[in-house]
Amino acid sequence: MNTKQLMLRLPHALTYSRLVMALFYVFGSIYKPMQQPLLIGLILITAILSDIFDGIIARRLNVATPELRQLDSKVDTIFWFSLLYLLIVMKTEFMRTHALPLFILLGLEVSVQLFGFFKFNTSIALHTYAAKAWAILLTITVLVLLWGNNADIIFGIMFGWGLIAQTEAFLILLKLKTARVDVKSILSLNK
């Protein structure tokens, strides 16, 4: 395999690397010695960087297909759910205290995904700016929580923005006539 072929596979490799990171979180929820906040935080930052660069590289190499974008969204979902499970194990009291907003966000995420699937008979991968900002807020919230600081304020901001991001995704799906990936915002549909 030559260098060009390897480069063309890089976006897939970056995407699949988050599955390996998700596995670490799953094992970390089982084996207490793996529950090291610094390591969990470093993996989270690495995952966010891989999520950013898989899309950038795919667009530069002209391999950003709808299938790759959908794979990216599926892997992101698995990654975030595995991290959520680890946080439930590690930060049980915080997660219990914030269970209602977490259930609301999870319910919205599942509802949006199901609505998109049933409407278009395929998984959705909108990759909106609001969703990207939400991922950053999720990351900051998790890092603050891992470092033992009071995460209530950032959690509230993250929750509010999550409601906005999910509402926008639902509105985009309502407005779309055919399945699309990489819809940057509801405003971009009017162009």
pLDDT at residue 159 in the model: 98
Write down how long the chain is: 191
pLDDT (tens digit per residue) in 59-90? 999 988 999 999 999 999 999 999 999 999 99
**What fold is seen in the domain 3-190?**
Four Helix Bundle (Hemerythrin (Met), subunit A) (1.20.120)
Q: Is the pLDDT of residue 1 over 90?
A: no
Q: What region, left, alpha or beta, does residue 62 occupy, with left being phi > 0 and alpha being psi -120 to 50 degrees?
A: left
What tokens appear for 119 in the block? Answer: 């409407």
pLDDT at residue 191 in the model: 59
| 3-state per-residue secondary structure call for 40-66 | HHHHHHHHHHHHHHHHHHHHHCCCCCH
Q: Is the pLDDT of residue 190 over 80?
A: no
List Cβ neighbours of 167 (8 Å cut-off, separation of 6 or more). 108
Assess contact for 189 and 183: CB atoms under 8 A: yes
**Percent of the chain at pLDDT exceeding 70:** 99
pLDDT at residue 4 in the model: 74
Secondary element (H or E) of residue 10: helix 3-30
pLDDT (tens digit per residue) in 43-59? 999 999 999 999 999 99
Assess contact for 174 and 168: CB atoms under 8 A: no
* Positive/negative CA dihedral, 50, 55, 60, 66: positive
> What average pLDDT is seen over the chain?
94
